[in-house]
């Protein structure tokens, strides 16, 4: 199958040569805007200088030549410096016949690209359960991995567990002081929830101590530094790094509770990883990199004994990479982890970090330090920065316990999906097990789609109830349309109307049918762009537009009652191809679609 853009490029190149004696690399096509007639638009401004003609005249002369010299061109029109070109029904029918039975339609762009990409996402701290912010991170990372795979890349999905540091010690210390031996088993709480409870308890007790010190005359800054609880937490971190057996055992126990809790949440979210890293392993590697950097003169020791780098000439600030007491900071372990990854995977060509935009500066510093340390691959590291998720009530705060817990959110979504589905009467003929699976599918589809349809760079407001709407710009709307198509196809099969029947006698199609075929054609370009920009929103919005178009097609045209067999077969084939596209596109977003609703 000759792609439309390739056909048009070759034709325009030949036309430029025959009409003006030119060859040009500035032949670019874009989809014709909806308000104009046409399938593809050629920008004619680049040819005005060499032809010494107005762009409108160049467009008219090229349009006439194309119409005269190729039977696939059905019409053209010129709007200022833009030549809008229409391809005929035969071209689009020929294209459709080459893809209508392709089960990878909407799921795969190419064979292997030979490129290996590592994508890091999730990166939770083991002092609290996953919350709504983590949900966006996980869903975004998983979907980008799916999209990169569909573009032909080998993808390694990684998760670094931030399992050490002062924040972890805060939970440990609070449990020691206030826990009275509580365990997940004795309380019936998920392990990550239990540990998160004591992170909040630490903050409450710490703030109380700070207030008492302020009341005695200290400034707030002094009180925050001098609060006994903070000193105890800092000492616990020093003891951990010194290998104190008691501290290490408590750390292992409490972390094991959290890991078990995380595993449940990841499974319920439908995300997974190929490789896990632990900060408790990699922070040591970072220290080695700092030592090597000192020897090379990349870093310097300050008077207080801390180690830093001056990046002011790069438009950044001074950055501490090792504290005065010798303990690591976040960037220390990030340095070590990056170095370890490129050693462990020699074929690695790109490393992407999925982290919120609050860390934009951190990653600029990280990549610049790696570059100064002499790692050529530093230029292949990038930050997939995304906006924060907010609620109508405002921002979430982990220390104060005002976050939207991921597990509670998933349950709320499930309950809302159940209530909405029952209200709409879409539960007939399902067993209890099938209904539970349907509610889970709809609830996850609503959550994932609502989050992924927003451009990653934008912050977003999340409303669970708004996300579950069977008629809006939502996951359930797309899921329901898929189930509707499957219902049509099942009925056709019952009536003996096979979707594989011949449609060769068909030479013309309606404008909406042509629009359906062109929409299927457009997917490849959308997927390629989504892979380049790491934006699942492009896929999400593409599949929504296709869903709207199919519903228009479904309401305007008869399918099963169409008397002309060739037309009926074509419409069934378009329906089947559309269902395949919806299913596979939603899979790129990590969303399953039901066979019936």
Q: What was the pLDDT predicted at 463?
A: 77
Question: Residue 110 — pLDDT band, cuts 50, 70, 90?
Answer: low
pLDDT at 399 over 70: no
Average pLDDT of the chain, as a whole number:
92
Question: Residue 597 — pLDDT band, cuts 50, 70, 90?
Answer: confident
Q: How far is CA 111 from CA 1, 51, 107, 186, 522, in A?
A: 17, 41, 12, 52, 18
In sequence order, what DSSP letters do the residues of 156-204 get, joined into one string? EEEEEEB--SHHHHHHHHHHHHH-TT--HHHH---HHHHHHHHHHHHHH
pLDDT at 105 over 80: no
Q: How far is CA 12 from CA 4, 29, 45, 521, in A?
A: 12, 11, 14, 21
Among 9-18, 270-279, 422-431, where is mean pLDDT lowest?
422-431
Q: How far is CA 331 from CA 36, 137, 277, 322, 485, in A?
A: 52, 20, 15, 9, 51
Query: Alpha carbon 431 to chain centroid distance?
Result: 34
* Structural domain spans, the chain: 4-87, 121-390, 407-588
DSSP at 47: G
Question: Residue 393 — pLDDT band, cuts 50, 70, 90?
Answer: low
Q: What was the pLDDT predicted at 151?
A: 94
Answer whether 545's CB lies under 8 Å from 584's CB: no
Residue 60, both tokens: 């008219």
pLDDT at 204 over 90: yes
Question: Residue 328 — pLDDT band, cuts 50, 70, 90?
Answer: confident
Residue 254, both tokens: 């409490």
Q: How far apart are the first and last CA of the chain?
A: 36
* Average pLDDT of the residues in 218-241: 95
Q: Rounded to the nearest 5°, which phi and psi values hold at 206?
A: -65, -45
pLDDT at 259 over 80: yes
Query: Alpha carbon 161 to chain centroid distance?
Result: 20
* Average pLDDT of the residues in 488-513: 86
458 conformational bin, left if phi > 0, alpha if psi -120 to 50, beta if neither:
beta
| Closest of 156, 459, 124 to residue 265, by C-alpha | 124
pLDDT at 397 over 80: no
Counting residues of the chain whose pLDDT is more than 90, the rounded percentage is 81
* Average pLDDT of the residues in 345-370: 97
pLDDT at 2 over 80: no
Answer whether 2's CB lies under 8 Å from 57's CB: no
* Average pLDDT of the residues in 147-167: 95
Q: Rounded to the nearest 5°, which phi and psi values hold at 289?
A: -65, -35
Question: Is this prediction's pTM over 0.85?
Answer: yes
Class of domain 4-87: alpha beta
Q: What was the pLDDT predicted at 333?
A: 85
Q: Does 121-390 carry CATH code 3.40.50.10860? A: no
* Average pLDDT of the residues in 70-81: 96
Question: Residue 104 — pLDDT band, cuts 50, 70, 90?
Answer: confident
Query: Alpha carbon 410 to chain centroid distance?
Result: 19
Q: What was the pLDDT predicted at 24?
A: 86
Over the stretch 524-571, which tens digit does the pLDDT of each residue have? 999 999 999 999 999 999 999 999 999 999 999 999 999 999 999 999
Q: What's the CA gap between 127 and 162, in Å, rounded? A: 9
* Average pLDDT of the residues in 49-74: 96
Question: Residue 421 — pLDDT band, cuts 50, 70, 90?
Answer: confident
Alpha helices in 21-54 (DSSP H): 48-51
CB-side neighbour CA atoms (13 Å) of 321: 31
Answer whether 557's CB lies under 8 Å from 139's CB: no
Q: What was the pLDDT predicted at 396?
A: 43
Q: What was the pLDDT predicted at 269?
A: 97
The residue written with tokens 């050529």 in the block is: 376
Q: What was the pLDDT predicted at 423?
A: 87
Answer whether 559's CB lies under 8 Å from 121's CB: no
Q: Exposed (0-12), middle (13-18) or buried (19+): which is 245, by Cβ within 10 Å?
A: exposed
pLDDT at 402 over 60: no
Helix orientation angle between 228-241 and 166-178, rounded to the nearest 10 degrees: 110
Q: What's the CA gap between 486 and 416, in Å, rounded? A: 25
Cα–Cα–Cα angle for 399, 402, 407, nearest 5°?
105
Question: Residue 398 — pLDDT band, cuts 50, 70, 90?
Answer: very low
Q: What's the CA gap between 96 and 101, in Å, rounded? A: 9
* Average pLDDT of the residues in 288-303: 94
pLDDT at 351 over 90: yes
Q: What was the pLDDT predicted at 109?
A: 63
* Average pLDDT of the residues in 32-37: 94
pLDDT at 232 over 90: yes
SS (H, E, C) 325-382: CCCECHHHHHHHHHHHHHHHCCCEEEEEEEEEHHHHHHHHHHHHHHHHCCCHHHHHEE
Q: What was the pLDDT predicted at 116?
A: 97
Answer whether 133's CB lies under 8 Å from 391's CB: no
pLDDT at 583 over 60: yes
Answer whether 473's CB lies under 8 Å from 454's CB: no
CATH architecture entry for 407-588: Orthogonal Bundle (1.10)
* Average pLDDT of the residues in 245-274: 97
C-alpha dihedral, 480 to 481 to 486 to 490, nearest 10°? 90
């Amino acid at each position: 199958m000759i792609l439309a853009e390739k056909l048009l490029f070759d034709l325009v190149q030949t036309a430029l040569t025959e009409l003006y004696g030119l060859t040009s690399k500035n032949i670019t096509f874009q989809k014709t805007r909806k308000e104009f007639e046409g399938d593809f638009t050629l920008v004619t401004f680049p040819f005005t200088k060499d032809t010494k003609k107005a762009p409108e005249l160049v467009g008219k002369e090229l349009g006439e030549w194309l119409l005269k010299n190729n039977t696939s061109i059905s019409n053209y029109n010129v709007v200022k410096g833009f030549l809008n070109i229409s391809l005929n029904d035969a071209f689009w029918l020929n294209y459709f016949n080459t893809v209508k039975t392709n089960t990878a339609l909407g799921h795969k762009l190419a064979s292997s690209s030979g490129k290996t990409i590592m994508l890091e996402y999730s990166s939770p701290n083991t002092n609290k359960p996953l919350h709504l912010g983590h949900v966006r991170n996980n869903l975004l990372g998983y979907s980008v991995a799916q999209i990169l795979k569909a573009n032909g890349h080998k993808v390694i999905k990684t998760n670094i567990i931030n399992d050490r540091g002062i924040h972890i010690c805060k939970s440990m210390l609070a449990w020691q002081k206030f826990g009275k031996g509580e365990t997940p088993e004795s309380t019936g709480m998920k392990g990550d929830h239990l540990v998160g409870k004591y992170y909040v308890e630490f903050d409450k007790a710490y703030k109380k101590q700070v207030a008492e010190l302020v009341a005695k005359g200290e400034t707030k800054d002094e009180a925050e530094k001098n609060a006994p609880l903070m000193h105890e937490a800092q000492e616990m971190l020093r003891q951990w790094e010194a290998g104190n057996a008691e501290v290490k055992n408590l750390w292992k126990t409490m972390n094991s509770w959290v890991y078990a809790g995380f595993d449940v949440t990841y499974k319920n979210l439908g995300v997974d990883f190929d490789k896990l890293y632990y900060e408790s392993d990699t922070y040591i590697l970072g220290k080695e990199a700092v030592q090597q950097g000192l020897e090379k003169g990349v870093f310097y020791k300050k008077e207080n004994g801390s180690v830093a780098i001056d990046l002011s000439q790069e438009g950044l600030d001074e950055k501490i990479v090792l504290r005065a007491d010798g303990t690591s900071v976040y960037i220390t372990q990030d340095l070590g982890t990056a170095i370890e990854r490129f050693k462990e995977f020699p074929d690695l060509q790109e490393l992407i970090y999925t982290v919120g935009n609050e860390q934009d500066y951190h990653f600029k510093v990280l990549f610049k330090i790696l570059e100064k340390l002499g790692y050529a691959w530093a230029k292949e590291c990038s930050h997939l920065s995304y906006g924060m998720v907010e609620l109508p009530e405002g921002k979430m705060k982990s220390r104060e316990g005002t976050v939207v817990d991921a597990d509670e959110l998933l349950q709320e979504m499930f309950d809302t999906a159940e209530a909405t589905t029952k209200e709409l009467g879409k539960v007939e003929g399902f067993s209890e097990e099938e209904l539970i699976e349907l509610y889970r599918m709809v609830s996850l589809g609503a959550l994932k789609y609502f989050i992924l349809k927003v451009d990653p760079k934008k912050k977003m407001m999340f409303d669970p109830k708004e996300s579950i709407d069977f008629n809006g710009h939502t996951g359930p709307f797309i899921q329901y349309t898929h189930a509707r198509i499957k219902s049509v196809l099942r009925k056709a099969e019952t009536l003996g109307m096979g979707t594989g029947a011949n449609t060769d006698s068909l030479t013309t199609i309606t404008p909406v049918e042509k629009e359906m075929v062109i929409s299927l054609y457009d997917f490849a370009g959308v997927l390629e762009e989504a892979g380049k920009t790491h934006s699942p929103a492009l896929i999400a919005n593409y599949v929504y537009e296709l869903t709207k178009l199919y519903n228009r097609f479904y309401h305007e045209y008869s399918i099963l009652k169409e008397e002309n067999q060739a037309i009926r077969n074509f419409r069934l084939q378009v329906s089947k191809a559309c269902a395949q596209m919806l299913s596979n596109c939603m899979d790129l977003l990590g969303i399953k679609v039901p066979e019936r609703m």
